[in-house]
Structure formats: C-alpha cells, structure tokens
Amino acid sequence: MQIKLKDNSVNLDGLSVHMLKALVTICRVWVEHGVSTVIITSANDGKHMTNSKHFIGHAVDVRSRSLPDNIGMTDDMRDRLGDDYDVVLEIDHIHVEYDPPL
C-alpha cells in the first residue's frame, strides 16, 4: 500500500491526528477492494469554500475516478469512520472530513 500526492501542490502541513486516523482507514478499505495506491488530491491547499475544513487540517480529498467500486468504497469508509466524519463521493474524488456532531 502506498499513499501518493496528486502533485507537489498538495499540502499536508497541519493535517490533524483525526485525518491521519482517517487515512489509515482509507488505506484499509482500498486494500480490501484490491487497490494498492491512495492518491490524495487535496488537503490544506487548493480552492475550497471559505469555511472549509481543509484549511484547518480536518479534510482530505482522495482520487476516485479509477476505483473499482467507488460507491461501495465510499460506503465502507463512512461506516468505519463513524459519525465524527463526513464522507462524500464527489464527481472525481471522495471528500473525507472530521466534523463531529455538537
């Protein structure tokens, strides 16, 4: 299993321990679905909404376009990460953020 950055524009500085936990879970799901590489397309970088969790180290986006079962893999991540995380399948990536209920 390997984790790759899309390119050198991806900034992992300030990634929270909660997101490191999420990355471990993402890797486990990928391996179980026969995928050997997680590609992070965004973390604390890029263009996001003003109040995005990306800017405080609580969100990452991972590439989904070549996954064998992006819906099933998204569901698996959502189930394993639980209610403290939002996992959203977008057009070309899966957005994962730490956002515990109040």
Question: Is the pLDDT at 4 greater than 70, yes or no?
Answer: yes
- The residues that bridge with 85 in the sheet, in sequence order, are 98
Q: Kindly report the CA angle at 39 between 58 and 14, in degrees rounded to 5?
A: 30
Helix ranges (H only) for the chain are: 17-32, 70-81
pTM of the model: 0.91
Rounded to whole angstroms, the Cα distance separating 93 from 40 reads 9
What is the percent of the chain with per-residue pLDDT over 90, rounded to a whole number?
69
Mean pLDDT of the chain: 90
Give 53's pLDDT tier (boundaries 50, 70, 90).
Answer: confident
Rounded to whole angstroms, the Cα distance separating 42 from 6 reads 8
Q: How many Cα atoms occupy the beta-carbon half-sphere of 32 within 13 Å? A: 13
Give 48's pLDDT tier (boundaries 50, 70, 90).
Answer: low
pLDDT at res. 44:
80
